Amino acid sequence: MRVDFTKLRFLIIDDNTYMRKVLKALLHGFGAREVLEADDGAAGLEIFMTYSPDIVIVDWEMPILDGLEVTRMIRQPTTSVNPFAPVIMITGHSEKRRVVMAREAGVTEFLVKPISSKGLYDRILTVVAFPRPFIRTKTFFGPDRRRGAANNYTGPERRKGEDAEVIKPRALIEKARHRQ
């Protein structure tokens, strides 16, 4: 499957200038034309609310608001311009507890530094072509943690005592389908 990156708007939120340049160069290499940047979480959230990007790439550790706080604010269905926007978290930390924290904040995909162009491309392709349904409960709004369709899961990480509404987000593939 090919994705036409020229039709997608990206937002990179990272306090490291070099990492923003690397990410921007990779996105341009994939064909992206519109790549917005912010050097901290607060500025990134302001750009997100103003320009409503299709995909957000956010670093975990930043001043003012970190990547988790930014993601939680993006996921607010009553105040966000697009609470369904895919959020790709980039971090130098790969511990399981960090992955779980990111997932609980509403992160769509997780990418550990040092990143590769293939890793970034694969995460973008996943969020564009295979979007996960969103789950709304009293305490959570974000992408379904499960990648499969096992609706009868009863394991230890199953949310208990909460009615969950399943919402199918708008698929970005329709916007970014490569036409030949």
Q: Say what the pLDDT of residue 180 is.
A: 46
Query: Which strands form 34-38's sheet, in the order they lie side by side?
Result: 34-38, 9-13, 55-59, 87-91, 109-112
pTM above 0.95, yes or no: no
The one-letter amino acid at 174: E
The whole domain housing 86 covers: 5-176
**Phi, psi at 7, each rounded to 5°:** -95, 0
Q: Are strands 165-167 and 109-112 parallel, antiparallel or unpaired?
A: unpaired
Domain count, the chain: 1
Q: What CATH number does residue 107 fall under?
A: 3.40.50.2300
Q: Say what the pLDDT of residue 167 is.
A: 83
Helices (H), the chain: 17-30, 41-51, 67-74, 96-105, 117-129, 173-176
pLDDT per residue rounded down to tens, the chain (180 residues): 778 899 999 999 999 999 999 999 999 999 999 999 999 999 999 999 999 999 999 999 998 999 999 999 999 999 999 999 999 999 999 999 999 999 999 999 999 999 999 999 999 999 999 999 999 988 889 999 776 555 555 666 555 556 788 888 877 767 776 544
State the DSSP string of 19-35: HHHHHHHHHHHHT--EE
**Structure letter (DSSP) for residue 61:** S
- For residues 16 and 27, the answer to whether their CB atoms sit within 8 Å is no
